[in-house]
């Protein structure tokens, strides 16, 4: 992978973090609309944007040979992650929900072993263990109903991690990133349509507008993160995805007056710190070692 491709991956993943933090804010501001109804309109509006993007770029909706099964699995995993994440956002601080959802890179690492046949080293396995220990500070396990949203948030991270592993798989197979986004949006819209018809909850004009904004932000985030993982391996750029917690904390404080408690902050530090350390040992250190090796070889010549 060349430096230009790597920079593109980093740029896209930070942009996706900003858009998804916005999406989380709009979801919470929508209020008492049922979670599945929010999920439907999030994907419906995102589908419209994806279709327009395909039309404007004159991209034909032609799925690559053998990629349909991967698109379906990616969509099912993404749907699980989305529903659980939306539920968590509705019931806890958006920075906490965003942090738990960002366990996805660690889950992606685990799933990439099976999906992409990528090997994990000792540093990566230690990182996974540390990240999940940090998640316990955010989840705060207890024997009451208050812990359910936190566990839903962690399950959302699992679904997202599996989805991103298949996004990377599709990227290595040359699938167009906009087709991946359009397929996911269309698949989940159809999947959630029966529930919308049977259990539709009337909404105010403000809620309709906020759901539109949710869909636009989601589409922006989905397009950016799909491009990010299509340009670079998850283990090399996923550390930048944690910038969503910064965006979410800022939005939560300004618009919702939310301030994370000290246990959550400890969890943030452990998880983000783990991601940075893992990134150093699996990306920066090997790159520096290879660079030094090449310099020594050139000097010898």
Query: Out of 84-98, 153-167, 232-246, which region has the weakest mean confidence (pLDDT)?
Result: 232-246
| Total-model pTM | 0.83
Give the residue-averaged pLDDT of 247-262. 91
Q: What residues contact residue 53 under an 8 Å CB cut-off, 6+ apart?
A: 59, 178, 182, 223
pLDDT at 2 exceeding the cut of 80? no
pLDDT value, residue 104 = 83
Highest mean pLDDT among 229-233, 251-255, 289-293: 251-255
Torsion angle, CA of 19/180/271/145, rounded to 10 degrees?
80
Q: What is the pLDDT of residues 11-24, one digit of tens each?
A: 898 899 999 999 99
pLDDT value, residue 233 = 74
Q: What is the pLDDT of residues 36-71, one digit of tens each?
A: 999 999 889 888 888 888 898 888 888 989 999 999
Q: How far apart are CA 149 and CA 133, in angstroms?
A: 18
Query: Where does the pLDDT of residue 178 fall: very low under 50, low under 70, confident under 90, or very high at 90 and above?
Result: confident
Q: How far apart are CA 294 and CA 296, in angstroms?
A: 5
pLDDT at 1 exceeding the cut of 60? no
Q: Among candidates 42, 154, 63, which has minimal Cα distance to 107?
A: 154
pLDDT value, residue 154 = 93
pLDDT value, residue 301 = 63
* SS3 assignment for 87-103: HHHHHCCHHHHHHHHCC
pLDDT value, residue 125 = 83
Q: How far apart are CA 43 and CA 283, in angstroms?
A: 34
For the chain, the structural domain boundaries read 3-121+143-258
Mean pLDDT, the chain, as a whole number? 87
pLDDT value, residue 114 = 87
pLDDT value, residue 216 = 86
């Amino acid at each position: 992978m060349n430096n230009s491709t790597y920079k593109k991956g980093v740029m896209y993943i930070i942009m996706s973090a900003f858009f998804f933090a916005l999406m989380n804010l709009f979801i919470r501001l929508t209020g008492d609309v049922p979670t599945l109804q929010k999920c439907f309109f999030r994907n419906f509006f995102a589908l419209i944007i994806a279709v327009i993007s395909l039309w404007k770029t004159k991209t034909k909706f032609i799925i690559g040979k053998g990629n349909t099964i991967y698109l379906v699995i990616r969509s099912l995993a993404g749907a699980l992650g989305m529903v659980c994440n939306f539920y968590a956002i509705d019931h806890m601080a958006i920075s906490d929900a965003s942090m738990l959802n960002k366990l996805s890179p660690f889950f992606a690492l685990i799933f990439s072993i099976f999906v992409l046949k990528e090997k994990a080293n000792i540093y990566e396995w230690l990182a996974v263990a540390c990240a999940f220990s940090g998640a316990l500070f955010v989840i705060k396990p207890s024997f009451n109903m208050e812990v359910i949203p936190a566990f839903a948030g962690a399950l959302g991270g699992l679904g997202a991690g599996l989805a991103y592993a298949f996004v990377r798989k599709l990227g290595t197979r040359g699938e167009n990133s906009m087709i991946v986004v359009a397929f996911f949006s269309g698949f989940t819209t159809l999947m959630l349509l029966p529930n919308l018809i049977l259990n539709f909850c009337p909404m105010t004009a403000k809620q309709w507008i906020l759901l539109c904004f949710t869909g636009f932000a989601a589409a922006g985030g989905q397009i950016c993160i799909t491009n990010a993982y299509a340009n670079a391996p998850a283990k090399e750029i996923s550390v930048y995805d944690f910038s969503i917690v910064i965006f979410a904390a800022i939005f939560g404080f300004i618009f919702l007056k939310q301030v994370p408690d000290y246990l959550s902050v400890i969890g943030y530090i452990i998880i983000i710190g783990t991601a940075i350390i893992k990134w150093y040992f699996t990306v920066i250190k090997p790159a520096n070692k290879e660079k030094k090796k090449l310099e020594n070889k050139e000097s010898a010549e």
